[in-house]
Structure 1
Amino acid sequence: MSRSRGIEAKVQQKEVLQTRRNGWNENIKNKNEDHSICPKDDAEMQQIKDLLQKLPKLDKIFSVHRKIGEGTFSSVYLGSLRQHARLPPDQRRWFAIKHLVPTAHPARVEHELRCLQDMGGKNNVIGVDLCLRHLDTIVFVMPYIPHRKFSEYVGEMDAAELARYMRALLTALRHVHSFGVIHRDVKPSNFLYDRENKRYLLVDFGLAQRVVAAPAPPPAHSNTLKRPREEDESTQEPKRIALDLRTGPRSVNVALPRPPAPGCACAGAGGVCAACAARPPPRAPRAGTQGFRPPEVLLKVSAQTTAVDVWAAGVVLASVLCARYPFFRAADDVAALAELQDLLGTQPLQRTAAALGRRLVTSVCRPGVCLRKLCARLRGAAPPPAAPAPPPAAPAAPPGRACARCRLPPEHCLCRDHTVPATRIAEGVTVAGFPDAAFALAAHLLEPDPRLRPTAAQALEHPFLREV
């Protein structure tokens, strides 16, 4: 009996020691977690404290609660009126307080403020309620709507919700374009969506640019120190690039540059001869986020229009159809052109480049990908029905045989059928729950030639959006 009691005592003692160790480990783990979380919260609270000290008027009117967003040129905080502090949260009026970086040029700030004043407050475009300034500290106080991240619901939207979403986005773009303004940074994080109340807001006009040839606002930063171009284009994260809007005289030819003469040593080759290397490099606006830039921006065409925003809307539509965000992941312009070549095909891109005064040389020729097949593959749905049989001259594979282009079985082939236009609508056909009209609209918006790309007003007349 005594021996058994001794064994039980040793077991109990071992369990107590193990419990203490687990408790100590748990406490250490909690401390480490708190240590990893606190610095971020403390940094945000310190930023809010510094902002309120620099701008005392803001502290008198608003209660700044937390940071809700941060970009290249600004930080956004959630705020509410101090006089509503005793009201329940659901009865308060909430605001988005945008603090611009101190290096922002005053004329650039004025340009953004005028865009918000002239266009905001209607047609799903955000307005501005108040602007406060003290020395180099400037904030815009704008309406706030609760919203979720695009990545959280990109795979949950059905056809009806997608049609409402795209119609709201194109309505906002139509309104902005009617003022002769290019937003230049259309992406899901700049188009807020309140799913519960079906509200939409197009935000962030920090990179907006006017189409008309008028004196442009100064650059986004007045600081003359710049990072080298190699560093900008080697980053692995998508980011925005500031507009090149200097007030000084420019020696840039606005006309479309001519391609090299056929007799040039590097014509049609992958290299560049000395004569072409001595030519001044093309200069064109490149503002925007990587993954949403159209071919004319990647090819550095100086004459850019509101079609830049329409292309970005097409990328958003393709992201929802394929339930993949981001849709393009290239880190630089050359890789982005390679991704467009895989999606659209080499020949359409080369025709677009030639029409815009550029020459695109590639080592391989891609046939392009069918967006309908790609959506079905990524969503795990049945592939779309086969189109009518093409003429014998087209390279078509016999039934059950591998594709002549990609050498893959029909159930795995993603090649585009060039005998059938991608913009044609097959009545009664659905792919992964989306009508064929949705893919036809995506093909319209992702037209590589900006002159053939529809405007936002024309896109709103598409059958996929007309019934919303």
Structure 2
Amino acid sequence: MATAVPARRRRVESFRTEVQFFRIHEDAPSTEDTEMNESALQDDDDAELDGELVDDEGQESECSESSEEEVPDDSHFQQDMENLQDCFAGFRQKYRLIKRIGEGTFSTVYKAEDLLYDSYDNSWDLDKETEKWTPPPLKSFSGQSSATLDYQSQSQRRRKPKYVAIKKIYVTSSPSRILNELELLHDLRGCRSVCPLITAFRWTDQVIAILPYFRHADFREYFRNMTRPDMAIYLRSLFTALASVHSHNILHRDIKPTNFLYDPGSRRGVLVDFGLAEREGYDCKPCICHDDPVTRKRKLRPLISDKEKEGYPREDTRHSRRANRAGTRGFRAPEVLFKCTEQSTKIDIWSVGVILLTILSKRFPFFNSADDIEAMIEIATIFGRQRMQAAALLHGCMLQTTIPTIGRSGFSFEGIVLWSTDRNETKDKLPEDERLAVEFLSRCMELDPSRRISAEEALEHPFLRMGLDESVEEASDAGDDDEMDMLKV
């Protein structure tokens, strides 16, 4: 034991020397700091997050002690950060890179300190209002020296560091995709619960976007302990963001827990990552799902034969269909799987329904398919063969299966929730508030997108209004003495 400690300290000191050489400040992450992209959720990062403590000012706590596992051993990301700082002129005078917090197919996200925060308009900062509550000044005593009092006054004036998220977009990304993301973020500025775009820089083929940094918790750490009011608050924040996005006729296309940064402490969430988003109606062709039932039936008549035939045809004469399939496996809506060529904002509502089903069933991920065919099988197992075939015909597709586990009628959401939470469907019954959540779930996970609830309608649903009136009354009844306590929540 006596020989292991000095060796570890030598390694830590060596790492600190290397960090100083790169002029990069290593900030101690909180347990609430998680990755902003699903592909960056690695076991090594989780172990690092769980091993450190951070005080209220964002600085490393005295109780924190670096361990051997917490010291990064890969210099690849350090070199990437160094190259990023050298690529843009004046970067080091504006931002100080701290660490990598996310990595995806098209980008890498870094945490950085905004060194020129006070020089610009910071209307995007959601924490400005709460930071007006500053601690009272320190009492001065006659026995204290002037140097001590001057140091205390400087400490009081010291501003809490402001952090931003710097998204480095890979040069392999399509220029039109990069421009589309920046334009959509610009159009969505000022929308509630939506991550705003602070600014963006380009140098030759390198593009970076400056976004606010939001403290949040890992979805896997809190979703199993959420009460029904907690679910309502979580979804109310998410649907508030979607209502703003959909009002601009924009499809997010990648709704999932890792793209909704939620802080259970402050009960505030922010929708991020618009890399796959697009405007409704962009580059699409008409689909028969938008036709009236009579016209749709007439168009489907050649596809429906009197006798079903098993297997594949020797010569497939059907026309190929091209549709946008962007999104994450397990969260894609049925119309995406059936290659609907005229998708609407309702695809985001289905993805939110999958999140709610995950929370109610306490199983993550709930759908775990490897491809679109398995995804259809998973959905058909729940809804049944008959309803799934009707959903396929809605988009001009035929669905035939002989899988024995796919029944004709499927299962109810109430039965699925009872089964997944180890409750007996015949003996146990869902509480009233949970039954209301299941009813709301059925409105979100409707196979027919035209019958699926919208974001605006969802905000008026009784389930999302659960606890809303009580919280407003408590806030109005709270006196001045309670305001500081409310801000600490």
TM-score by length of 2: 0.68
Aligned mates of 1:262, 1:119 — CA distance in 2: 42
Decide whether the 8 Å contact of 1:58 with 1:132 is kept in 2. no
SS in structure 1 opposite 2:330? Answer: coil
Alignment match, 2:397: 358
Any residues of structure 2 matched to 1:367-382 within 5 Å, and which?
A: 367-380=409-422, 382=423
Q: Among 205, 223, 228, which residue is 1:159 paired with?
A: 228
SS in structure 2 opposite 1:369? Answer: coil
- Residue 456 of structure 1, CA deviation: 1.0
Classify 1:438/1:255 alpha carbon distance in 2 versus 1 (closer, same or farther; 3 Å). Answer: closer
SS in structure 2 opposite 1:315? Answer: helix
Alignment match, 2:327: 288
Decide whether the 8 Å contact of 2:281 with 2:343 is kept in 1. no
Aligned mates of 1:286, 1:128 — CA distance in 2: 26
SS in structure 2 opposite 1:145? Answer: coil
Classify 1:269/1:143 alpha carbon distance in 2 versus 1 (closer, same or farther; 3 Å). Answer: same
- Name the larger-Rg structure: 1
What code does the residue aligned with 2:449 have?
A: P
What code does the residue aligned with 2:167 have?
A: K
Q: Among 265, 270, 292, which residue is 1:201 paired with?
A: 270
- Residue 37 of structure 1, CA deviation: 7.2
Gaps of 5+ in 1: 1-18, 217-251, 385-409, 413-428
SS in structure 2 opposite 1:457? Answer: helix
Calculate percent identity across the aligned residue pairs.
Answer: 33
Alignment match, 1:452: 451
Deviates further, 82-91 or 186-195 = 82-91
Any residues of structure 2 matched to 1:163-174 within 5 Å, and which?
A: 163-174=232-243
SS in structure 1 opposite 2:200? Answer: strand
Deviates further, 439-448 or 77-86 = 77-86
Aligned mates of 1:71, 1:260 — CA distance in 2: 44
Decide whether the 8 Å contact of 1:169 with 1:202 is kept in 2. yes
- Residue 90 of structure 1, CA deviation: 8.2
Q: Among 57, 78, 82, which residue is 2:111 paired with?
A: 78
What code does the residue aligned with 2:415 have?
A: K
> In the comparison of the two structures, how many residue pairs are matched?
364
- Residue 443 of structure 1, CA deviation: 0.8
SS in structure 1 opposite 2:447? Answer: coil
Gaps of 5+ in 2: 12-43, 45-66, 119-153, 289-295, 469-489
Aligned mates of 1:98, 1:123 — CA distance in 2: 21
What code does the residue aligned with 2:81 have?
A: I
What code does the residue aligned with 2:342 have?
A: A
- Residue 171 of structure 1, CA deviation: 1.2
Aligned mates of 1:211, 1:263 — CA distance in 2: 31
Runs of 4+ with >3 A deviation: 33-41, 83-90, 252-260, 262-265
- Residue 261 of structure 1, CA deviation: 2.8
Aligned mates of 2:359, 2:155 — CA distance in 1: 38
TM-score by length of 1: 0.70
Any residues of structure 2 matched to 1:291-370 within 5 Å, and which?
A: 291-363=330-402, 364=404, 365-366=406-407, 367-370=409-412
- Residue 57 of structure 1, CA deviation: 3.2
SS in structure 2 opposite 1:451? Answer: helix
- Residue 331 of structure 1, CA deviation: 0.6
Decide whether the 8 Å contact of 1:78 with 1:94 is kept in 2. yes
Aligned-residue RMSD, C-alpha: 3.2
- Residue 296 of structure 1, CA deviation: 0.6
Classify 1:263/1:161 alpha carbon distance in 2 versus 1 (closer, same or farther; 3 Å). Answer: closer
- Structure 1, residues 141-174: CA drift from partner, whole Å, max 9, x if none? 1111111111111101111111011111111111
Decide whether the 8 Å contact of 2:96 with 2:115 is kept in 1. yes
